[in-house]
Amino acid sequence: MPFKQRILFLLLLSLILVPFRDQAPVYSQQRDTSDLGVASTTGVVVSASDLASDVGASILHKGGNAVDAAVATAFALAVTWPSAGNIGGGGFMVVRRPNGEAITIDYRETAPGKATPTMYLNAQGHIERGLTAAGYLAPGVPGTVRGLEMAHKKFGKLPWKDVVLPAVKLAEEGFIVSETMARGLNGQLAGEMGKFPASVAAYGKPGGGKWAAGDKIVLTDLGKTLRAIAVDGPDAFYKGWIADRIAEDMAANGGLISKADLAAYQAKLRTPVKGRYHDYEITAMPPPSSGGVALIEMLNILENFDLKKHDRFAPETLHLMIEAMRRAYLDRARFLGDPDFTDVPIAKLLSKDYAKTLAASINPAKASSSVELGKDIVTIAQVRESDETTHFSVIDKTGMAVTNTYTLEGGYGSRVVVKGAGFLLNNEMGDFNKKPGETNERGDIGTAPNLIAPGKRMLSSMTPAIVTRNGKPVLITGSPGGRTIINTVLCIILNVTEFGMTGRQAVDAARMHHQWLPDSTTIEEGAALEPALLRLKEMGHTIRQQGRQGDGNSIIVDEKTKVAYGVNDKRNGSSKASK
């Protein structure tokens, strides 16, 4: 093209584009929409660890189903993702079979038999917070191994040994340390973990010094423990030599977990909570997870409004989402706990009629007062839950889907490694309400449903969820993040079902969180344009922008082509979708 013609063409193109130059993109918060995810018609695994995702995918290639892959992934994460992957913690799994049958497995930790409602109070009646942050009084009775056993017994296809041994190999032969893992271990060993000799022996760098990306780590004792679980079965953990090591370590260091506690532990099959959002069905965890109930309650509230009238990150949309969050988290504090110990009004909380009354209480132009809404249990703040949890999603070639969230609670849990067994114990006892009857400005909750009792399961925010339409999976999702988990899952589900985003767009899109109290909203940086934030503040909202929220490793299924897209959350550089 001659020079003059090129100049004329460029001038004409610029005139065409001028009207669009100042228009905000529909999803201005997107980080990366260049891909749809890892496409597969034969199955995909998405987790926080590339090595664990590869293990899960290898099980699918060997003829295993989604549950086989999920169990293998979970055990692998116990090796490669020690901040949250575990055999010394607990969690929740949702399984949906190709025929539409769905079940949930509750393998949340329980309070030891010697636990008491006031065990974390000092002589002055104040909470000793350090006792649940780290050390031997912090752990609940671990549930992960029994939970994975239950899933495999009910749905697994391959032999148990075959799905555990890949994790054994990783631990015994070692693997390359990522930058994320090196940074985490170095920080922990220089802090709380460094106080416990068995933890230093397990995770300290041989010869001393700091871990660096590219180093190889071998976890010999953990490999021995996992091999016993693979060969001798889960009873090795709950009734055999591993249980002996746990009980001995507890007794020697002032802990409460006994061999009788371990032998008595049971994972539980529970009926999932279900709800509808327009023409989508949501299947999620029931109590003692608060996630499913709160998620469906929020969706029921939002169904009363025309969210599509405005952009996803318009102030009007964000305002309604915040108000729905505020009301669901208030009900979480009022009602939710272990259903084996407290009467949870699930039918009411999931009711469309109840949601209508909550929706009617929302002023479309003004923020509500959290304190005024919750004056019956008057409180000023809430305890923060750790965000060190991990989530993975799996689907196989038949359409069987698994969504699993499990945790040690805080990063690296109690920081205590069981001597001679090589695995970390949780610090989940901190998720109980620790001072009966007192809900105060320091952030303590004392409502009855979540007080400590022997054998009781502590309340959780974990929200593994499956979204279907016309009887077929559409979205398999979940996230870590403490109390932010439920809202992260809400955001991802709305992005897909209400705003038509692809899986990559839905996971990349920035998130926000409001948990009733403290009465403030956090929004990931880039989630909204400054005018939207200003308008929310004018409406009475307290807004704070922050960095990362959650790690929503998800799978979205194209309803027309039936192709599943594994979408790893790029907020975590170690995550991967594998097929």
Catalytic residues: 389
Beta carbons of 119 and 433 less than 8 angstroms apart: no
CA distances (Å), origin 36, targets 173, 362, 363: 35, 36, 37
**Using the 8-state DSSP alphabet, how is residue 108 labeled?**
-
| DSSP assignments along 159-211, one per residue | -HHHHHHHHHHHHHH-EEPPHHHHHHHHHHHTTGGGG-HHHHHHHSPTTSS--
Where do we find the tokens 């920035």? Answer: 510
Nearest to 502 by CA among 96, 41, 34, 49: 34
Rounded to a whole number of angstroms, the distance between the first and last alpha carbons of the chain is: 47
Which residue, among 33, 30, 32, 29, has the nearest Cα to 528 in the 3D structure?
29
Q: Three-class SS of residue 327? A: helix
Q: In sequence order, what are the residues at sequence separation of 6 or more whose Cβ sits closer than 8 angstroms to the Cβ of residue 6?
A: none
Report which of 217, 244, 294, 237 is spatially closest to residue 459, judged by C-alpha positions. 294
| C-alpha angle 429-432-434 in degrees, rounded to nearest 5 | 100
The angle subtended at Cα 298 by Cα 358 and Cα 396, nearest 5°, is: 160
The DSSP secondary-structure symbol of 417 reads B
